[in-house]
Structure 1
Amino acid sequence: MFKKMRRIDKKMKKEKAIKILKNSEYGVLSTIGENKYCYGVPLNYVVMENSIYFHSAKEGHKIDNLKFNKKVSFCVVKNQKPIPEKLTTAYESVVVFGKAEFVEGEEKRDALMALTKKFAPNHMEKGKESIKKEFD
């Protein structure tokens, strides 16, 4: 279904890839629209079990694309370090492919709480209030 990785010597173990995904702060979600153009947008996210969750406005380019085609890729890059003398950059990256779904109810509430805990741990009460408003 997908092409084999060209630089197989750079392939990391699944456990390390999951650790990078869980510990990174943002990644780029790539979608495709009706016009057949790709659209990549940086997003913060949280990993819960075997899923990646994003929060988003209810409309916009990304949402239009997801309604057209649920297939996505998501890329995270971490630990970038330029190596000028070799004219290169060292980094770790993870690219995943999947299908995006819009979630509601408890799953949405849990994802929003996890995002709050990850990105605003000192503001959990404010996060809970904001989440409550979203469900009212």
Structure 2
Amino acid sequence: MRHRTKTHLLTEEQISDLFSRSEVGRLGTYSEDGYPYILPMHFVYFDNKIYMHGLPKGKKIDNIKFNSNVCFEIDEMISLLYEGVENPCDVNTEFNSIILRGRASLINDFNEKHTALSKIVEKFTPHLKNKELPEKMVKGTAVIRIDILDYVGRYYK
């Protein structure tokens, strides 16, 4: 398996496409108790950054305030590759994935929050993209930005 991780790399175009079409990614943060914390999050990718939104309080917010170093993972399982396989240990998976490291921050700038939330609306509820976002909702929603330090996209077919 280790050999494949260096030879089955997604192109930048494939990575960009996977970022665009994926709806859920997994955010990994550090807890003060020393344990990692991973949770699925809806997200949008633009300007080489990941944006997510949620409640302004909770474990993910506390963790980001404690340590802004995060990881983020996206994957899609396409199919199991078992046709003609006799040994269960030889079954494999066709997949695409991206793993990245970055620094998370809570956005306070109203314009950046509004832009990020508008992009999220456009991605997940495009039929509502022309509706104005209420100022109170923008101000009351936590928006998390991940500034990407590095990433790798992998596939297997």
**Short-chain TM bin:** 0.7 to 0.9
Secondary structure at the aligned position of 1:11 is classed as: coil
Report the counterpart of residue 120 of structure 2 in structure 1: 115
What is the distance in 2 between the residues matched to 1:113 and 1:30?
24
Q: How many residues align?
A: 130
For the residues of structure 1 that align with 2:33 and 2:113, how far apart are their CA atoms?
Answer: 30
> Structure 1: which 5+ runs fail to align?
none
Match of 1:31 in 2: 29
Aligned identity (percent) is 30
TM norm structure 2:
0.75
**Which runs of at least 4 in structure 1 moved beyond 6 Å after TM superposition?**
none
Matched, 1:66 2:64: yes
Query: Would the aligned equivalents of 2:75 and 2:98 in 1 still touch at CA under 8 Å?
Result: yes
Q: Any stretches of 5+ residues in structure 2 without a counterpart? A: 141-157
- Cα distance in 2 between the residues matched to 1:23 and 1:125: 21
Q: Which has the higher helix share?
A: 1
Deviation at 1:117, TM superposition (A): 0.5
How far is the alpha carbon of 1:6 from its aligned partner?
7.3
Q: Deviations over 1:92-133 (max 9, x none)?
A: 00011100011121000000000001001112355x34x423
Would you say the 8 A contact 2:27–2:70 is kept in 1?
yes
Q: Following the alignment from structure 2 to structure 1, what is the Cα–Cα distance between the partners of residues 4 and 77?
A: 21
Partner residue in 1 for 2:143: none
Select the structure of larger CA radius of gyration. 2
* Separation in structure 1 between the aligned mates of residue 130 and residue 9 of structure 2, nearest angstrom: 41
Residues 1:96 and 2:94 are matched in the alignment: no
CA offset at residue 10 of structure 1? 1.7
Structure with higher RCO (Cα < 8 A, 6+ apart): 2
- CA–CA distance in 1 between the matches of 2:63 and 2:4? 28
